Structure formats: structure tokens, C-alpha cells
């Protein structure tokens, strides 16, 4: 792919990690019949490689909605993982919607055809009827290899039925057991030059009975004085089951950013919080 050639020609020290996004497609997620596991897994895989997730979206099995979402994400220039909807049942629309979003059509990918044929033969277990690639049932299975023109395959170590990739979008099955290793393959094969370029860290503490409206000016001041640092606030109404400072209303207040920029902002946030009359409880000391 052309974008891979361009990336490979640059000094890795000059490369800025791209934004990574996730699209999870499926009515079963939105209805609550199944719980999404892709979001937490992708975050884990990215973090292990010194990268982070910028955004995530959940989309129904609706062709118009899928197409519109993909048009937007293709135009973003982000690296996007999309899970779900690449099968052959009536509610699987992702392959055709990706083609529509790109203004092209789908076509049976030769390498995908070979892999699917191999899967059919292995599952036939010597039965010539089941192994007949021209049977209506097996011809229908080949639809799983119909990808937008210009796509390349993503290997699936679980059952050999591939996903596909095009314009830095990676289309994977809805099954986490398949999608997770395929995500890892994409990252390790195509984005290794970005791994651990930035030592990204975060530090936080608990502010018992903290009030966000009181702390917000301090948070804004820290971000202004310390560019590249983000200040975050996670309020809680309290949990009596946890006890201690967690039992009553509190705020987890912290900073996140590149390690060498973090410490001055961390110290300023602590001092500023104490100057407002709050006591600080370090999480590691609780």
C-alpha cells in the first residue's frame, strides 16, 4: 500500500503516532443482548504498544448508518478498526457499506477465495458432497471474501476466514476471539514504527468532598501553563462498600501526558488543590 511505503521512508524519530479509532457494528451490542469486548481489548493492545485510542463509536446493523459512519471515518485520516457485519447473513452489511462509502463495489478477493476454499475442504472431513465448492451452500460462503476493490486481506488465525483492510481501515469479525489477534497482527505488521515513541503516563489523587466547579479554574490553569498535559476529573457519589475516602462523595483528580512533562504539572495540581483548602489522599497510600 502506498501509505506504508511513505511511512517506511521516513525517519521513525520524525513520525507522529496516528489517531486510532474503533467502530463496533451490531444490533446485539446496542440492545444489550451481548456486551462489547472489543473496546477494552483494543485499548489494551494499543497501551501495550505505547499507543492510545482516540475515539470509539457503536453503530446499528443499518446500512445507511454504517455507510455514513464509514464515509466520515475514511475522510478523517485516522487508523480505524471496525468489528462486526462482515459475515453473509441478511444483517451483515459492512462489506457493501464500506464499498459504498468509498464509491466503489465489492469483488471476490482471490486470496480470500483460496482461504475460504481451504476452510471448506478442511471442514468437509473427506466428504465429497460437503467439499464441492460449486454447491449453493459453499458458493454462498465465498461471499465472505467479497471486499471493496483495492482491499487486502487480514489473516484470521482462528478459522482462516480473512478480514480485509483498505485506506487504513481494518474490518474484522464481530467475535472477539477472532478480532483480537487480528487487531494485534495489524498493529504489529503495519504500525510498529510508532510503538513506544512517547512515554505516556498519568497520575492522580483523591479529593474528598471535592467540588468540580471549584476545581475547574485550577484545572484550566494547569493546562494553560503546561502545554501537552491534560487534567482529568472523575467525580463519584461514593460507595459505602469500599470504605475510607471512597465511601463518601469524592473526586479523583489527575494529570496525563508525556512523562517528562508530567511532574511539574502534577506538583502544581497538588499545590493548587491544597491551596483551595482540600486535603489530598494519594491512591497508593489508601
* Lowest-confidence region among 60-64, 209-213, 281-285: 281-285
Dist. CA 121–CA 282, nearest whole Å: 60
**How high does pLDDT run on average in the chain?**
91
pLDDT of residue 283: 83
Please check whether residue 62 is in contact with residue 31, taking contact to mean a CB–CB distance below 8 angstroms. no
Residue 82 in 3-state DSSP? Answer: strand
- The structural architecture, per CATH, of the domain 2-194 is 3-Layer(aba) Sandwich (3.40)
Q: pLDDT grade, residue 284 (50/70/90)? A: low
158 CB-contact burial (10 Å; exposed 0-12 / middle 13-18 / buried 19+): middle
DSSP-derived secondary structure letter, 138: H
- Residue ranges per structural domain of the chain: 2-194, 200-285
State how far the Cα of 186 lies from the Cα of 19, in Å rounded to an integer.
15
Q: CATH classification of 200-285, choosing from 1.10.10.10, 3.30.1240.10, 3.40.1360.10, 3.30.70.2520? A: 3.30.70.2520
Distance CA 200, CA 262 (A): 9
Give me the pLDDT at residue 14, please.
Answer: 57
Q: For the chain, how big is the Rg over CA atoms in Å?
A: 24
Instruction: Kindly report the number of other CB atoms within 10 A of residue 35's CB atom.
Output: 8
Question: Do 60 and 31 form a contact (C-beta atoms < 8 A)?
Answer: no
Amino acid at each position: 500500500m502506498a501509505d506504508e511505503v511513505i511511512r517506511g521512508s521516513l525517519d521513525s524519530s520524525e513520525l507522529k503516532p496516528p489517531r486510532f479509532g474503533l467502530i463496533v457494528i451490531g444490533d446485539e451490542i446496542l440492545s444489550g443482548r451481548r456486551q462489547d469486548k472489543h473496546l477494552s481489548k483494543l485499548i489494551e493492545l494499543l497501551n501495550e504498544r505505547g499507543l492510545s485510542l482516540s475515539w470509539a463509536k457503536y453503530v446499528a446493523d443499518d446500512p445507511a448508518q454504517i455507510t455514513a459512519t464509514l464515509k466520515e471515518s475514511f475522510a478523517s485520516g485516522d487508523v480505524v478498526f471496525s468489528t462486526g457485519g462482515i459475515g453473509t447473513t441478511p444483517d451483515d452489511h459492512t462489506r457493501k457499506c464500506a464499498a459504498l462509502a468509498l464509491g466503489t463495489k465489492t469483488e471476490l478477493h482471490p486470496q480470500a477465495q483460496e482461504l475460504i476454499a481451504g476452510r471448506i475442504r478442511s471442514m468437509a472431513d473427506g466428504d465429497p458432497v460437503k467439499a464441492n465448492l460449486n454447491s449453493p451452500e459453499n458458493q454462498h460462503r465465498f461471499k465472505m471474501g467479497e471486499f471493496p476493490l483495492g482491499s487486502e486481506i487480514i489473516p484470521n488465525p482462528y478459522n482462516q476466514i480473512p478480514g480485509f483492510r483498505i485506506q487504513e481501515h481494518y474490518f474484522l469479525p464481530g467475535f472477539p476471539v477472532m478480532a483480537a489477534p487480528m487487531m494485534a497482527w495489524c498493529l504489529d505488521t503495519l504500525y510498529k514504527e510508532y510503538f513506544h515513541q512517547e512515554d505516556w503516563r498519568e497520575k492522580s489523587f483523591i479529593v474528598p468532598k471535592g467540588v468540580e466547579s471549584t476545581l475547574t479554574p485550577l484545572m484550566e490553569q494547569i493546562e494553560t501553563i503546561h502545554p501537552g498535559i491534560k487534567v482529568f476529573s472523575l467525580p463519584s457519589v461514593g460507595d459505602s462498600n469500599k470504605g475510607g475516602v471512597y465511601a463518601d462523595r469524592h473526586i479523583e483528580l489527575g494529570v496525563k501526558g508525556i512523562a517528562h512533562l508530567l511532574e511539574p504539572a502534577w506538583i502544581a495540581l497538588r499545590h493548587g488543590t491544597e491551596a483551595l483548602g482540600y486535603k489530598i489522599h494519594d491512591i497508593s497510600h489508601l
